[in-house]
Amino acid sequence: PKDILSDDLDDVILGRMIKEAELMIKIRGI
């Protein structure tokens, strides 16, 4: 269970980082 929880947490963190990166790109217009 611990491994599954940690994997889910990693996915959530990665998803947030990707969304933030996409927002920055849209704001900068690159």
Q: Residue 30 falls within a domain, yes or no?
A: no
pLDDT digits (tens, 9 = 90+) for 2-30: 666 777 888 999 999 999 999 999 999 76
pTM of the model: 0.56
Res. 1: pLDDT tops 60: no
Work out how many domains the chain is built from and give that number. 1
φ, ψ of residue 29 to 5 degrees: the values are 75, 25
Q: Residue 18 falls within a domain, yes or no?
A: yes
Q: Residue 15 falls within a domain, yes or no?
A: yes
State how far the Cα of 23 lies from the Cα of 2, in Å rounded to an integer.
32
In the structure encoding, which two tokens stand for residue 14, read together? 């990665």
Task: Show the domain range for 6.
Answer: 1-25
